[in-house]
Amino acid sequence: MSKGFSYSMTLEVISEGFDGKTEWFSPRAGIIPPQTAVLTVVKSLLGDSDVFLSVASCYSENLGHTWSKLICHENSLGRRLEPDGIEVTFCDITPMWHAATGKLLATGHTARYKNGKLIPKLRRRETAYAVYHPATHTWSAWAVMEMPDPEDKFFSCGAGCTQRVDLDNGQILLPVYFMPRKEASDPWRHCYRTTVVRCRFDGQVLKYIEHGDELTVPEPRGLAEPSLICFQGTFFLTLRNDLRGYVTRGSDGLHFEPPIPWCFDDGQELGSYNTQQHWLTLGNKLFLSYTRKGAGNDDVFRHRAPLFLAEVDPERLCVLKQTERLIVPNKGAQLGNFGTVQVSPEESWVLTSEGMQGDARQPYDIQRTISRGANNRIYLVRLHSVNSA
What's the pLDDT tens digit per position in 220-275? 999 999 999 999 999 999 999 999 999 999 999 999 999 999 999 999 999 999 99
Q: How far apart are CA 89 and CA 78, in angstroms?
A: 6
Task: Tell me the C-alpha to C-alpha distance, in Å, between residue 354 and each of 108, 304, 310, 375, 384.
Answer: 21, 10, 21, 7, 23
CA 158 to chain centre: 12
Check pLDDT > 70 for residue 36.
Answer: yes
What tens digit of pLDDT does each residue of 132-154 get?
999 999 999 999 999 999 999 99
Tens of pLDDT, residues 98-111: 999 999 999 999 99
CB contact at 8 A, 197 and 208: yes
Q: Are 292 and 308 in contact (CB under 8 A)?
A: yes
* pLDDT band with cut points at 50, 70 and 90 for residue 4: low
